[in-house]
Amino acid sequence: MHALIQRIWHGFVVIALVATATFVLVRLAPGDPFAAALENARLTPALREQWRAAYGLDGSIGTQFAHWIASLARGDLGFSTSTNQPVSRAIAAALPNTLLLIGTSIVIAFMLGIWLGAVQAAGRGGIVDRCIGAITLIGNAVPDFWLALVMLLAGSYWLRLFPVGGVADLLLPLGASWPVLLLDRARHLVLPVLTMVILLVAPIARLQRTALLDRLGAEWVRTATAKGVARRTVFRRHAWRTALGPVVTMGGIALPSLFGGAVFIERVFAWPGMGRLAAEAVAARDYHLVVGCVLVGTVMVVIGSMLADHVSAWLDPRLTQDGFEPGRGLA
Amino acid sequence: MPNLRDLRFLSLCALAACGATPDGTPAAAVSATGGTLVISTPAEPDNLLPPITTSISGRQVEDLIFQRLADIGASLNTVGDAGFTPNLATRWQWSPDSLSIAFTLDSAARWHDGVPVRAADVRFSLALVTDPRVASPTALLLANVDSISARDSLTAVVWFKQRRPDQFFEIVHQLYVLPEHLLRTADRRRLAAAPIAMMPIGSGPFRVARWVPKQLLELVADTTGGRRRAQLDRVVFAVAPDPVTAFTRVVTGEADLFEAVRPDKVAEVTSHPQLHLVLTPTLDYSYLGFNLVDQKTGRPHSLFGDRMVRRALTMATDRRSIVMNVYDSLAVQARGPFTAAQSTADTAHVPLPFAPDSANALLDAAGWMRGADSLRRRNGMLLAFGMLVPSTSVARMRAAVLLQEQFRRVGADVRIEGVDMGGFVSRISARRFDTMVGAWSQDAGPADVRAAWTSAAATAGGNNAGAYRSPQFDAHVDSGVAAFAPTAMRAHFAAAWRIIADDAPAIWLAEPLRVMAVHSRFVTSGMRPDAWWAGVAKWSIPPDRRIARDAPAPAHAAALAPAGASR
Amino acid sequence: MTATHTPPTDALLSLRDVRVTFRTADGVITPVDGVSFDIARGETLALVGESGCGKSLTALTILRLIDAPGRIEAGSRILFEGRDVLTLPDKELRSIRGRQAAMIFQEPMTALNPVYSAGEQIAEVVRTHTKASRSEAWTRAVAMLGAVGISSPDIRAKQFPHQLSGGMRQRVMIAMALVLGPSLLIADEPTTALVVTIQAQLLDLLREAQQARGASMLLITHDLGVVAESAQRVAVMYAGQIVEEAPVTALFAAPQHPYTEGLMAAMPRAGSRRERLTTIPGTVPPPGAWPLACRFADRCAYAWSRCTIEAPPLHQLGHGRTSRCHLVEEPARRVAAQATAGAAS
């Protein structure tokens, strides 16, 4: 219990530090929310000052920070100048879309990656191993943005199988039945998820393969064989089961980049998620929205890491919540 | 030419539409009105309240949902009222001294919630825009308007401070009429935060049905009071932040219109038979601006304070080939700070020629001698400078690279600095640049050039970032703006363009055409150089060319009912 | 006189001419080079040698646990309960492993799966070979843990290997090996990684368990003290070959092979007043670099020219003793060398 409280406290400290750093950094970037408008806007500096004052963006960074903390305590994340709504509303609209995209992609990518890695390790050196290995090599090397564009064009333009981006067809008649709506949602989900999965599967499969090959040479595998356990069961219970740990740990470490990397995918597929929201907010110098997005993103990363740690500990009891406990000597 | 049978058919449908109830009549399904226009765009409006809207996409929507007193014609004649057609005002009456105009409003005009439009709304709209608490950039453009009074419920009298050729244009074009009964109580300091800024009520031919942020903005034809002014049922703005995605939507048929086709995509558009390539002139031009003042010392810039150097560098650039290279045939060379489509253009104006020999001679004469590395130096200082470019603009980045190469040939060393738009704007306003590749999108009126190139705009905060000051240029511009006779106006502006071309505070580069991809089933009309969307209310789709999404579903028939009908 | 062993019909385990080769980057090596021995029912045979002599590999061959790039060469024969292990189909081999013959490995920290509890790993053996349910297997596992001397076995059974001490882990391994009552135990250095006091306890445990069930044991060790405690017969291995075999007391009383002599002499004895331990000069040659002829010749105090020309066969000496040494045929040289050594000290 004590350990849990400590974890939560650490998470809180991390979130506070990141939010504060973002708060300062975004205001240091040149420009302000009202400069990114029309380049030749007839917005004189006097007018711009007035607008800044109206949104609480005048005053020193210290005063602004104090105001922000005060409103945060009330549960108010501020007003977004680029989307003209409270920051919390903008995030509440975008967050489910990101969770849908990333959640689906993570689940599929991990299942697929672990399975591929296991298949590779089981048939090590064979033709299957090499084929899968070539594919994962490509998956590792391909740049996200390019892959997203290619997938979009291939799926929606060359093959005309899927819609061109977006999260749903908003022009569907309002009375459409729920199977139609569900199918529409699913069709929109395919290309972005496929893109993310390809990018995620490669490192997962490679890591799983390496970890598994390493475990196959472990002593306890030989013990299991010596006990008369069938080969398949030895592979599954003794090699593969102990090789999952590194993969999950890697997943936990890669969480932040997952949220960040989705920015490109969300942009290309016009997916109204957190990545796009944050990126466009930065470009528009929408300070409150940027900090709000970072705050929410950090919270999710912290929670995700804690989850990953729990799963890791369950997979490998040597990594308990209280920290690593080495075997107690030879006594 | 519609034949008699069509006219009878149309009038039948019009009658049926007038009496249309929410459950719809079968006749309405085959009427001449109807259809959905899906505009695929990377941008989204910031808000939909004209006094504080700064985005072009916001203007596009506002032109469809709000009304002006009168509309300017495609020739953009801003002198007097001859070039205008009635809109909210059905007729107007000048006073003998031309210091006031009485506008008679359309008695059938209704706000989208059913409330009639009154002269008090016009009076209120001016008061709101010019209220210092709102801090609207448009207020400056209404400087010549003194006030508006409501003589009676349907007559609004506009009082001017001075008699000027563009006074009619000023009040009619810059003022959108807004509903007083809905905006009266809004917090003027933070108008953008009011809910009505995102779901506005106007009196225009379309009204906002819904706005799903970052995804879609849907307008439906307004039928308040049984009056329908739009041919199409719906105009939908579908947002996709990546231009490739936005363009692909049109090519696959998910959308109908894309307004910024890149030169390398033109062939793709023409290869699809269901798409039309529409080219219209614009009021945009791009240029390489010199900074004439050293921002740190306030003294003339060490390189560009010298007119000879500026002229030399201008003559060193083959502008035609740059334009050709960047835009293919989709732009013409800009000859000065004006575009061919505007009324103050001088089509006979000849810019400085492309003459590298003269350029070299001028630089030699100015004391810039070539060194062993073929770069020029004077008093130990290298002819080297920075070129600030917004990295988000592909065309400008390309132009910058070409300029860099051409400058190198005459011995100048250029360092390209690509910054994102926010950073670009901030450095320009801080005047921290040597040269910059800028673009100017002009207003329809003649006075707009003041905001970019006159001495008044050279002060801190103005848009004359290079601080070009020429009293002669200012005088000719002022005279041109004040001239009532078109010939006198053109003569003054021609003189002004000559002066500024001689002084070469910038190298004028390109006037890009607007290249649009439009689905062929649309019958378009009313495109203006400053607003291709101006005539969208009159766009139509012949009944035999309609596709699936043009058919009104039962739910949309409900959406077409007047907004206040259910209350 | 040389003669190959003929398999006594009542031996539980017979190895004949077992040869294991490994393909390496530098060629083929033969770490186990023609090993033969028998183990009778209820008997403990200790297989002694320094590290690198091939004794662990020999143990692994019995249950066919040698993996690529190693292989058991044709011509080897391993008879268990009269059946040739090397030609058994997979299913039958698996039924032997863990049930009729069980192995106990040296390093229990790595030989036990870290993510399963002790009880689960013992239960796994039970469920692999019997139709017991999960709860039945668990009960048997807990009972076995108690039988090997672990207190609070129901709690310990739920713990993971890293939560147990080294001694307890080895008890778990022993429990795993004994739970189905095998007739042959193969213990590969079972106590090497443990402290001396625990060593003694575990050896006692093994011996008791073995005697209670009438099981045989192949005990691999490099520690002659362990041999004296636990085994009835000893086989000494050097450089992939058996160099001497004898009943325990006979071996300790009068070792025949010079290598065995050297091992004995090197053992530290309590009460001895020598300041330095005697060592055998030179080092054990690696499997790829075995000398031709007698492999011990370059380190042997008695070696003469014949030893580097002719490889000595395994001589039968009667009373169950063998020796792979030319001294068997020329005992006079031994006496002469000892006299010289005696004169020098």
CB-nearest to B240 from A31, A43, A165 is A165
Report the alpha-carbon distance of residue A166 to residue A276 in Å, rounded: 12
The nearest alpha carbon in chain A to B45 belongs to: A83
Chains B and C lie in contact, requiring 3 or more CB pairs less than 8 Å apart: no
Cβ separation of A170 and B245 shorter than 8 Å?
no
Regarding whether B363 and B493 lie in a shared domain, the answer is yes
Structure tokens, A327: 């075997």
Kindly report the backbone phi and psi dihedral angles of residue A205, in degrees, each rounded to the nearest multiple of 5, phi listed first.
-65, -40
Q: What is the pLDDT of residue A73?
A: 85
Report the alpha-carbon distance of residue B427 to residue C99 in Å, rounded: 82
Q: What is the pLDDT of residues C67-92, one digit of tens each?
A: 878 888 888 889 998 888 888 898 99
CB-nearest to B55 from A37, A83, A276 is A37
Domain boundary pick from A16, A50, A80: A80
C315 contacts C322 by C-beta, under 8 angstroms? yes
The nearest alpha carbon in chain A to C178 belongs to: A227
Regarding whether B444 and B419 lie in a shared domain, the answer is yes
Regarding whether A106 and A62 lie in a shared domain, the answer is no
Regarding whether B415 and B308 lie in a shared domain, the answer is yes
Cβ separation of A31 and B441 shorter than 8 Å?
no
Regarding whether A45 and A96 lie in a shared domain, the answer is no
Inter-chain Cβ pairs, chain A and chain B, closer than 8 A: 155
Contacts of B298-306 with CB under 8 Å at 24 or more apart are B301/B434, B302/B381, B303/B383, B303/B385, B303/B434, B304/B385, B304/B434, B304/B435, B304/B466, B306/B366
ipTM: 0.86
Sequence-ordered list of residues with C-beta below 8 angstroms from that of C101, at least 6 positions apart, any chain: C62, C63, C80, C182, C183, C184, C185, C186
B540 contacts B35 by C-beta, under 8 angstroms? yes
Go through B123-161 and write b for each residue having 16 or more CB atoms within 10 A of its CB, e for each that does not.
bbbbebbbeeebbbbbbebbeebeebebeeebbbbbebe
Regarding whether B503 and B525 lie in a shared domain, the answer is no
Is there a domain that residue A206 lies in? yes
* Contacts with A227 from chain C: Cβ below 8 Å: 97-98, 102, 124-125, 128, 176
Regarding whether B310 and B452 lie in a shared domain, the answer is yes
Task: Find the domain containing B135 and state its range.
Answer: 70-183
Regarding whether B406 and B292 lie in a shared domain, the answer is yes
Regarding whether B75 and B55 lie in a shared domain, the answer is no
Give which of B100, B148, B97 is closest to B126, Cα–Cα.
B148
Report the alpha-carbon distance of residue B539 to residue B521 in Å, rounded: 10
Q: What is the pLDDT of residue B19?
A: 38
Report the alpha-carbon distance of residue B428 to residue B463 in Å, rounded: 9
From A35-44, C33-42, C52-61, the region with the lowest mean pLDDT: A35-44
Cβ separation of B36 and A32 shorter than 8 Å?
no
Is there a domain that residue A238 lies in? yes
CB-nearest to A45 from B192, B215, B460 is B460
Domain boundary pick from A55, A80, A105: A80
Is there a domain that residue B50 lies in? yes
CB-nearest to A156 from B192, B248, B440 is B248
Cβ separation of C63 and A226 shorter than 8 Å?
yes
Is there a domain that residue B193 lies in? no
CA angle, residues A80, A148, A92, in degrees to nearest 5: 25
Is there a domain that residue B189 lies in? no
Domain boundary pick from B183, B216, B234: B183
Q: Is C159 on the interface with A (CB under 8 A)?
A: no
Kindly report the nearest CA distance between residue C97 and chain A, in angstroms. 4
Q: What is the pLDDT of residue C336?
A: 78
* Domains of chain B: total: 3
Q: What is the pLDDT of residues B302-339, one digit of tens each?
A: 899 999 999 999 999 999 999 999 998 899 999 999 99
**Partners of B510 in the β-ladder:** B286, B333
Other chains touching A, judged by 3 or more CB pairs under 8 Å: B, C
The mean pLDDT value for C258-283 works out to 75
Whole-number mean pLDDT of chain C? 86
The nearest alpha carbon in chain B to A273 belongs to: B214
Cβ separation of C111 and A219 shorter than 8 Å?
yes
* Domains of chain A: total: 2
Is there a domain that residue A100 lies in? yes
Domain boundary pick from A21, A45, A80: A80
Other chains touching C, judged by 3 or more CB pairs under 8 Å: A
Is there a domain that residue A153 lies in? yes
CB count within 10 Å of CB B297 equals 9
Report the alpha-carbon distance of residue B78 to residue A289 in Å, rounded: 42
Regarding whether B315 and B361 lie in a shared domain, the answer is yes
Regarding whether A104 and A49 lie in a shared domain, the answer is no
* Contacts with C176 from chain A: Cβ below 8 Å: 223, 227
The residue among A318 and C219 whose pLDDT is bigger is C219
Q: What is the pLDDT of residue C270?
A: 65
In CATH, what number is assigned to the domain containing residue B17? 3.40.190.10
Sequence-ordered list of residues with C-beta below 8 angstroms from that of C200, at least 6 positions apart, any chain: C229
The mean pLDDT value for C12-38 works out to 89
Regarding whether A95 and A76 lie in a shared domain, the answer is no
In CATH, what number is assigned to the domain containing residue B152? 3.90.76.10
Q: Dump the DSSP string for B140-206.
A: GGGTTEEEEEEEETTEEEEEESS--TTHHHHHHHH--B--HHHHTTS-GGGGGGSGGGTS----SSE
Cβ separation of B248 and A164 shorter than 8 Å?
yes
**pLDDT of A322 higher than 90:** no
Is there a domain that residue A149 lies in? yes
In CATH, what number is assigned to the domain containing residue B378? 3.10.105.10
Sign of the CA dihedral running B289, B474, B510, A31: positive
Q: Is C194 on the interface with A (CB under 8 A)?
A: yes
Q: What is the pLDDT of residues A50-90, one digit of tens each?
A: 888 887 787 888 888 888 888 888 888 888 888 888 999 99
Cβ separation of A272 and B213 shorter than 8 Å?
yes
Cβ separation of A317 and C107 shorter than 8 Å?
no
Is there a domain that residue B18 lies in? yes
Strand C216-221 and strand C44-48: the pairing is parallel
Kindly report the nearest CA distance between residue C114 and chain A, in angstroms. 7
Report the alpha-carbon distance of residue C231 to residue C189 in Å, rounded: 13
Instruction: Report, as ranges of residue numbers, the positions in chain B whose pLDDT lies below 50.
Output: 1-30, 555-567
Is there a domain that residue B85 lies in? yes
Q: What is the pLDDT of residue B557?
A: 46
Task: Find the domain containing A40 and state its range.
Answer: 2-80
CA B384: distance to chain centroid? Answer: 35
Regarding whether A139 and A22 lie in a shared domain, the answer is no
Regarding whether B375 and B254 lie in a shared domain, the answer is no
Regarding whether B346 and B261 lie in a shared domain, the answer is no
Give which of B156, B59, B146, B115 is closest to B444, Cα–Cα.
B59
Regarding whether B442 and B502 lie in a shared domain, the answer is yes
The nearest alpha carbon in chain A to C166 belongs to: A330
**pTM for the whole structure:** 0.80
Domain boundary pick from B512, B532, B550: B512
Q: Where are the beta strands (DSSP E) in chain A?
A: 79-80, 85-86, 319-320, 323-324
Structure tokens, A143: 């740049």
Q: What is the pLDDT of residues B360-398, one digit of tens each?
A: 999 999 999 998 888 999 988 999 999 999 998 889 999
Is there a domain that residue B191 lies in? no
Q: Is A92 on the interface with B (CB under 8 A)?
A: no
Regarding whether B499 and B385 lie in a shared domain, the answer is yes
In CATH, what number is assigned to the domain containing residue A161? 1.10.3720.10
